[in-house]
């Protein structure tokens, strides 16, 4: 399964980059509290820290998305980028499972575990070999 679609990995990276920007990066960067409400998080009364952390995560996601876009045409960096992506997805899965076990997150975040697993399998399927 690993790398079965690697000849199309540049397309995967373009789609992933755009999806990361639209789905997470830009919303977290510009409207983090709206995004949090959309995902059914309770917003504390003093929301400055929540907004700051959301924007910080949004910046990080936007940077990774831009590098995904760049890595699409740079075969020399693709193995590194896919390794980083693989471990980021593993971390996201563990984080969301931990939140689900502790019942510390809304149901939308628990359902999101499926999305992270699907992205992990897609990443493995497009992995450069």
Q: Quick: pLDDT tens for 56-115.
A: 999 999 999 999 999 999 999 999 999 999 999 999 999 999 999 999 999 999 999 999
Number of neighbours of residue 104 by Cβ within 10 angstroms: 9
Q: What is the pTM of this model?
A: 0.87
Q: How deeply is 57 buried, as exposed, middle or buried, from its count of CB atoms within 10 A (0-12, 13-18, 19+)?
A: middle
Using a pLDDT cut of 70, give the percent of the chain over it.
100
């Amino acid at each position: 399964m690993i790398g079965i679609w690697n000849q199309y990995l540049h397309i995967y990276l373009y789609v992933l980059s755009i999806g990361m920007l639209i789905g997470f990066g830009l919303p977290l960067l510009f409207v983090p509290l709206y995004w949090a409400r959309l995902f059914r998080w309770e917003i504390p009364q003093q929301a400055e820290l929540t907004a700051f952390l959301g924007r910080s995560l949004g910046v990080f996601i936007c940077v990774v998305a831009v590098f995904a876009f760049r890595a699409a045409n740079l075969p020399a960096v693709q193995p590194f980028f896919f390794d980083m992506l693989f471990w980021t997805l593993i971390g996201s899965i563990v984080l969301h499972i931990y939140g689900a076990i502790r019942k510390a997150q809304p149901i939308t975040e628990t359902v999101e575990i499926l999305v992270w697993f699907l992205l992990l399998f897609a990443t493995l399927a497009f992995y450069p070999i």
